[in-house]
Copies of this chain bind each other. A is one copy, B any other.
Amino acid sequence: MARIDFDKYEGFYARRTQGLRSSVMRDLMAITARPEIISLAGGLPNTESFPVKTLVKITHDVATEDSAAALQYGPTEGFEETKRNIARVMEAENTLVDTEDIIITTGGQQGIDLTTRTLVDPGDAVIAEAPTYPGAIPSFCSFQADVTQIPMDDDGIRTDLLKNELRRLEKAGRRPKFIYVIPNFHNPAGVSINLERRLELVALARERELIILEDNPYGQLRFEGEQLPTLYSLDDDDNVIYISTFSKIISPGIRLGWMVAPAPLLAKFNLGKQAADLCPSTLAQMVVNRYFRDFRWQDYVEKTTDVYHRRRDAMLAALKEYFPEEASWTRPRGGFYIWATLPGYLDTTDLLALAIEQESVAFVPGAGAYMDGSGANHMRLAFCAVPEERIEDGIKRLARVIKDQMALYKALKG
C-alpha cells in the first residue's frame, strides 16, 4: 500500500494544469527579498510612502466604529460605498461608470481569471499583446485558451497586425473570446496605446462584436504626456470589460480590485466569484472606504507617482550610461516598467542566473511575458521598487553581465 504516486497516476491532474507554469515574478520573490540583491524584478508599489498616520487613523476608526461589520461576510459584488469610491477613481481618468456595473474582486488578477474562466472553453481563441502581463499567462493556461500575441511598438499594440489576425481567425471560422490589452504604461512593455489606435480598437470591437478586456492598473501613475481616454470611456456599446485595482493607488496588500462589465457578463462574474472566494474582504473595503471619506486619495497617488518618476529618470539615465549600444529600451511616461531588448543571441533567462550569482541583481526575463516562451532577448526592468542610487548601481552591474556575455559570444563566433 504505497503512497499515491502523483506523477504516475495518469490523468490525476486536470488537463488545464498541464503546462501551467509559475509566473516568473512570483518565483523571484524569495530570491529578491534577500537584502544584498538589487531587485529590478518585482513590480512592488512604494508602500513605504503611504503615510503611517493615515493607516493608523483609518484602521482605528474602522475597528472602533464598525468592528462587527468589518469582521463579517459581505455581498459578493462588494459594498455600494466601495463602488462609489471606485467610480470616483475612474472619474479621475474621465471615465464615468454606474456603480451597478461594478464588481469588487480580489485584486485585478481575479478580474483576468474570472473573465477567462467565464468565457474560455479549451481551445478557444484569445488575443493578447506581445509581450503581455506575465501574471495573465497562468490564467490563460488554466483555462486552456489558444492565445495569439500581437506585437507592439512604441504606440502600443499594432492594430494592423491585429486586423490580420482577426481575418485569419475569421477564415478559420473562429473569433476570439476577448482581446486582452493594457493601454496605459504597459506591463511589461512600458508603452501606451496612442489615441488613434484606441479609437481603432473600440471601432473594431463594435464592428466585429468582440470583447476587449482592458486592464488598467497603472493609468493614474502618469509622469508626463496627456491623459488618454480609457477604452471603456470610448465604448458606447457593451464591448469593453474594464479591470483595475487599488493595488497601485493604495496598497496591493489589501487585495482589492474591480471589474466593470455589461450586466449579463457581470452576473456570470458574480457566480464565478461566489465559487472562487465568496466575497471580497469587508475589512479591506472598510479601510478603503474610510480612507476615501477622511482623506484626499489623490495625495498618495501624487506623492508615490513622483517617486516613480524620479526612479524612471534614474533608470533611463543609467541605461544610457551603462547599457551596450546594441541594446534598446522603451521610455515609459508612467507606471513601473522599462522593457529592454538585447541582441537576439542573448537569452535573458540564462542571463538572470548569472546576474543574481555574479552581480546580485535581478530582473524579469522576457520569456515570462510570452505564452510560447519566446521573447528570450528581452527583459523587464522595474524601476518602481528601488531608490535612485540603487537603480544606477543595479543597471551598472547588469550591464557588466550583459557585456561579458556579448564579449563571450563574439569570442566564440569570432
A interface residue numbers (CB < 8 A to B): 1, 3-4, 6-7, 9, 11-17, 20-23, 26, 29-30, 42, 44-45, 47-48, 50, 52, 55-56, 59-60, 62-64, 67-76, 105-107, 109-110, 113, 117-121, 124, 135, 138-139, 141-143, 177, 206-207, 209, 211, 237-239, 247, 250-255, 262, 264-265, 268, 270-272, 274-284, 287
Contact = CB atoms under 8 A, between A and B. Distances in A.
Contacts of A238: 3-4, 6
Contacts of A74: 253
A121 B14 CA distance: 5
B63 A274 contact: no
Interface hub of A47, A56, A238, A283 (most chain B Cβ within 10 A) = A283
State the oligomeric state as a number of copies.
Answer: 2
B62 A119 contact: no
Contact of A21 (B60, B107, B271): B271
23 contacts: A4-B262, A14-B117, A14-B118, A14-B121, A23-B274, A30-B75, A44-B73, A47-B67, A50-B67, A55-B71, A59-B63, A69-B253, A71-B254, A73-B247, A107-B278, A109-B276, A135-B275, A138-B271, A142-B275, A251-B283, A254-B281, A255-B279, A281-B281
A9 B209 contact: yes
A283 B268 contact: no
Given A119-B14, A207-B1, A72 B237 contact: no
A282 B47 CA distance: 12
A106 B13 CA distance: 22
Contacts of A287: 283
Contacts of A15: 121
